[in-house]
Homo-oligomer: A and B are copies of this chain.
Amino acid sequence: MEQTVLYQMFEKRFPYESGEPVLPDCAVFWQEGEKEAKRGTSAIRTGTFRRTETEFAVRFMPEQEGVWHYEIRVPGTVLSGDVLCVREAAGGVRTAGECASDMGPEEGCPLGARPAAGGCHGRVVAAGDGFAYLDGEKFLPFGTTCYAWIYQPEERQEQTLATLAGSCFNKLRMLVFPKHMPYNNEEPERFPYLRDGEGGWDIKRPDLLFWERLDQVIARLGELGIETDLILFHPYDRWGFSELSGEESRCYLEYCIARLSAFHNLWWSLANEYEMVIRKNHADWDAAGELIRDRDPYGHLISIHNIMQLYPKRDWMTHCSIQSSDLNRIPYWKKKYGCPILIDECGYEGDLEFNWGNLSAFDMADRFWWTVTRGGYCTHGETFHREDEVLWWSKGGVLHGESEPRIRFLKDLLYELPGVGKADPMFDPQNPNEERRDGHKPNEKDLRFLELVRTSPEEEKFGMYGDSPKKLAGEGWQLYYFGRSCPCRVHVRLPEGECYDAQRIDIWEMTRTPLAEGVSGNALLVLPGKPGTAVLLRRREPEAG
């Protein structure tokens, strides 16, 4: 019996030729027996796609151990068999990285037998306000952005992977189609499709070498524990990929789904700046979202990224992927959308002329802290002007900035804390003009203030209420972040009868300094009055008596 590993891709190739690059919905994988009623045990229906000039392939990612049966029916051919899914790979199986370095274009890579690097926990799913791996393991997205890195020379791609391997980032936003924009003027060597006879693109003829390479980079990212936030359409285009017809778009998406959805580390991003993709309207985006939702048998994450107007909430959307620097709105978006909020663009660390690309390192780090203490997640990018035009945000390479260590510092801290935390308004219901009290009985002015918070138009209330520091709190801990505010003291409210230890955190110096021990109730903490200060409170566990 064939064998594969939980959460890893199993690929079955067979000789086949067709004018169509993909035959959707013609393969099925299923399990029998006692596990039938549980999640991950229902049948996986998927498509087959052109894999080489003479072969089609089916890919499958088991999310449950045990024996799986499969059947593939394409015109003239029926294949069937069994595959055993085990938790751990046998020793000595080659990794995709090893494969990638020595495989020829026609050979393909036995990705189906890769071991999980450091223990694979399956795909990431939306869970409440946040995310988690399929097996329940904690996942907090700390992403970065290298839009067009797969269009770079191989050496630079390797450099990018090495930089990523040494970084804290666990998600990468990247484009399928090539990019035309300032600092992105080169002609790619290879495109996702071959040209037709008239200089257009033949969407029936994927460039198999391109897709081979895309497979490899997704696999390599997976080995690094990095989620691939794959952007399917974007407007920065001089080749025509932003102007595909509805039928062409559908054919392209079906190929992506059939080929890529068995990667555990794949997220679908329908677009970057969807409003600027001028030839598509909301109906087109909805059709794309619904197609992916219906055809991707695993239910990978799906989002769409805006330039200005957030896309309305849709059933196909698993989370919000937002471009905005107006981070005070995160609590509002959480309420409005009822799904996880990912700030996939709030500006990049750099010094460009463009306002989206000239944050100081402090501001980039500050935006991560500000976002997470409002209950969202944030994404990094780096855009320092260079005469060689190799900017991390698009081409990868190496990082030149100073924000990554600060982002890592925050990530390490959040992973150290139990659970994922919930964001709460920092203070009890109290108007901002009174002494911080033990807040059990709101007075008349507190109630008025709360009424104002509740009833004010969104556009108005953020100037007074939205920009106040917030906290993230979990079982036995609270994390406050004060942003650029400079309080020299703060009252925190802790459960009576529980003892907390407080640390002062300097997000720039990356220091954690003891601040107070054994505090409880309405406690006053003395702070340095400096921008970039956070406070972590952790409950002391009772000593064994």
Contact = CB atoms under 8 A, between A and B. Distances in A.
Interface of A: 181-182, 235-236, 273, 275-276, 278, 307-310, 323-326, 328-329, 350-356, 358-360, 363, 384-385, 431-436, 444-445, 448-449, 452-453, 456-469, 482, 484-491, 529, 531
A353 B489 contact: yes
Contact of A432 (B329, B356, B444, B464): B356
Contact of A529 (B351, B356, B449): B351
A452 B275 contact: yes
B276 A464 contact: no
Contact of A385 (B324, B434, B435, B488): B488
B486 A435 contact: no
Nearest to A327: B463
- 8 pairs of A and B residues whose beta carbons are closest in the complex: A324-B463, A326-B463, A351-B529, A351-B488, A355-B468, A358-B485, A459-B459, A308-B452
Contacts of A468: 355
Contact of A448 (B276, B459, B466): B276
B487 A351 contact: yes
Contacts of A458: 459
Among A323, A360, A482: residue with most chain B CB under 10 A: A360
Given A308-B456, A459-B329, A484 B445 contact: no
A469 B434 contact: no
A334 to B, nearest CB: 15
A355 B432 contact: yes
A254 B118 CA distance: 78
Given A236-B433, A351-B488, A353-B490, 14 more contacts: A235-B433, A275-B448, A308-B460, A309-B457, A324-B463, A329-B459, A352-B488, A353-B487, A355-B467, A355-B469, A358-B485, A358-B487, A358-B488, A360-B531
Among A350, A351, A356, A458: residue with most chain B CB under 10 A: A351
A385 B487 CA distance: 9
A448 to B, nearest CB: 6
A53 to B, nearest CB: 37
A101 B519 CA distance: 53
Contact of A456 (B309, B434, B448): B309
A180 to B, nearest CB: 10
Contact of A464 (B323, B462, B489): B323
Contact of A461 (B308, B435, B469): B308
B460 A309 contact: yes
A307 B464 contact: yes
B385 A489 contact: yes
A359 B531 CA distance: 9
A206 to B, nearest CB: 27
Among A352, A434, A464, A487: residue with most chain B CB under 10 A: A464
A121 to B, nearest CB: 33
Contact of A435 (B182, B453, B463, B489): B182
A325 B463 contact: yes
Contact of A463 (B273, B329, B432): B329
A84 to B, nearest CB: 50
Contacts of A358: 482, 485-488, 529
Nearest to A483: B355
Given A452-B308, A486-B358, A434 B276 contact: no
